[in-house]
Amino acid sequence: MAAKLESLIQQLAETTESIRNNPASFHASTNQHARLADALQVLRAETRQPTDVVLDLLPHLAELTVLRLFIKWKVFENIPADGEISFRDLASKLGAETNLITRFASVLVASGVLKQVGYDRVAHSPMSPLFTSGSPVSAFAQITFDNDLRSLLAMPDYFERYGLKEPAGRYHTVYSFSAGDPELTVWEQMNKNKTKMADFMTTMAVLDEGIGTTYDFSWLRLEANSSKDRVLLVDVGGGRGQAVRAICQAVPDLPVNRCVVEDLAEVVEEARLSAEGEMKEAQFVALDFHKEQPVKGALLYYFRHCLHDYGDEDSVCMLQQIRDAMVADSRLLIVEQILISEARNGRLNVSGLSRPALG
């Protein structure tokens, strides 16, 4: 243990020095954040006792629950942007008991989301304004609680009913089972609540930040110059078009009007109506993954974070639809996270656990 601790401490010391020398670079780098979080997680795993395994989970569950409640109750909107407010006055604004708000707020104070001033006042931290209603981070927190946590809580009953095997199809998923109707697909279930569906799409946009810098799409520019009307890029399951927007920003000469965003009819209609700037020129096309690909002969079909949501049979069917639409020089780019059995990345492992909930 001593040797491993020394190695981790050295890694943390080097990261600390890197942050000290260039804090802006660290804050802008998702990868550096992830590496630091992983090192801290391993350090904690090496030093905790068996009872800590359970005890360490409780604050996270409590924090997520209080975040969800405070977003719903609009607590963050009722804390002054500059300054502070007493728990009594905050509770009065919310029509709540002072003790209830004080007790719940203490959970977020302990985690650093809120700041306590003295013994009876509270103020915003640098991050807490991001949880106001309607913000992308707020939507992310709500979806994590409403979708992911509910599905996780349903898993014991789900596997008791269906046996110890991964959900393989679009029906009888953990998500739909937890919502009370396993005969519906995940998307049919989500579409029953338009607000939650909108929150889900907003969350996907947050998680897709940085797409355009991951891969070099500049080669698409060559085809743009050699043909006038061919579709250059089809983002299959593209939500609100966040990937197309990021790619076009990374390749400034790429004509947006020759890029296509595909998703469920309700999703692309909302995306089309809410499109801003150059994205108004993009094409928005309704799609059923499991039926014929509507855009034929495109140069690049971009398939990101979709296959993990389905079993092998459905995934093969989805890929066949794209294959049948391709021509000789078409390309298919599949972007997924690869989960390995020895992975120590907590966020990736959670993804590997929650995605089977979708089918």
Residues annotated as catalytic (active site), given as ranges: 308
Sign of CA dihedral 174, 177, 183, 189: negative
CB 334 within 8 A of CB 308: no
Torsion, Cα 179 181 182 184, to 10 degrees, reads -100
CB 56 within 8 A of CB 44: yes
Where on the phi/psi map is residue 273: left (φ > 0), alpha (ψ -120 to 50), or beta? Answer: alpha
CA angle 196, 193, 260 (to 5 degrees): 70
DSSP 8-state symbol, 163: -
Nearest to 310 by CA among 237, 233, 240: 237
Q: Where do the DSSP E strands lie in the chain?
A: 85-86, 114-117, 121-124, 233-236, 259-263, 283-286, 300-304, 331-335
